[in-house]
Amino acid sequence: MSLKDLVSDPAWLFDLGFSVRRWPGTVDPSSPASWQLGDAYRLPAVKSLSGDEDASGSWMAWSDREILLQVHLPQANPASSLNTNISLDFYIDTRSSPGIHRANAYCHLFQLRFRQPAAIPLENAPADVRPGLISRAKGFPIYARANEVRGWLSASRSRLEMKMTLPYTSLAGCDPVEFPEWGVAWVASDGRKRYELARNSLSVPVDDPSLWCRARLVETSDA
């Protein structure tokens, strides 16, 4: 029996992580047009260790007040209207605890949903974002200001773009200076296909924080 057979997934052999650069400008959290993450903020395609390559991509940055997340999905079946079951689930552990297997009070889940009919092209249409419950959790964060988390969807015939801004005030225990590393993972769907965008094993449920990637916060010049 090979080592791969024993652990089921070769990505178990890696503690995957990446640098997340600081966004130098000012963000208007109510305006998705005030920011767009370019190549310097693109994250590595860690999914290639466990799954097939695809045309999805993700970008992430941190600023003085919030996290910026941007996800692109390919439009597999170009159409003139959107599928009405588009989603993005973003998981974050603000204390980066790779040794735990059940979520605690610092582990959050925010769920973006876009389910209203819409024509293509679409630009920065508001999406519904709400906190979710992580299965098997042994502790739950206090979502005191979860209503401050915002999300948007843009769409063309070839691509979907989802954006989220997550203020630190909406995240329990989030202090980029005191704790400059997070555990992160996200799962997205275009309504037809599911994409695993940042997780180091696809053979284990995403509710296990030990398999989330390590996001190390750096100043722009340090990345």
Number of domains in the chain: 1
Predicted local confidence at residue 95, as pLDDT: 93
pLDDT score, position 190: 86
The pLDDT of residue 47 is: 55
pLDDT for residue 80: 65
What number of other Cβ atoms are within 10 A of residue 76's Cβ? 14
- Pinpoint the alpha helices (H) of the chain: 3-7
User: What is the per-residue pLDDT for 211?
Assistant: 84
Structural domain harbouring 33: 3-222
User: CB of 38 within 8 A of CB of 77?
Assistant: no
- The percent of residues in the chain predicted with pLDDT above 90, rounded, is 49
**CB–CB of 216/181 below 8 Å?**
yes
What is the structure's pLDDT at 77?
60
> How many CB atoms are closer than 10 A to CB 213?
24
Per-residue confidence (pLDDT) for residue 191, from 0 to 100: 83
- CATH number where 216 lies: 2.60.40.1190
Percentage helix, strand, coil, to 5, in the chain? 15, 35, 50
User: Which of the residues in the chain have pLDDT under 50?
Assistant: 1-13, 48, 222-223
Q: Is 112 exposed, middle or buried (0-12, 13-18, 19+ CB in 10 A)?
A: buried
Q: Please name every residue paired with 23 in a beta bridge, in sequence order, or none if there are none.
A: none
Can you give the pLDDT at residue 193?
84
E-state strands within the chain: 17-21, 57-62, 66-74, 86-93, 107-114, 122-131, 150-155, 159-167, 181-189, 194-196, 213-218
pLDDT at 29: 79
Q: Is the pTM of this model over 0.95?
A: no
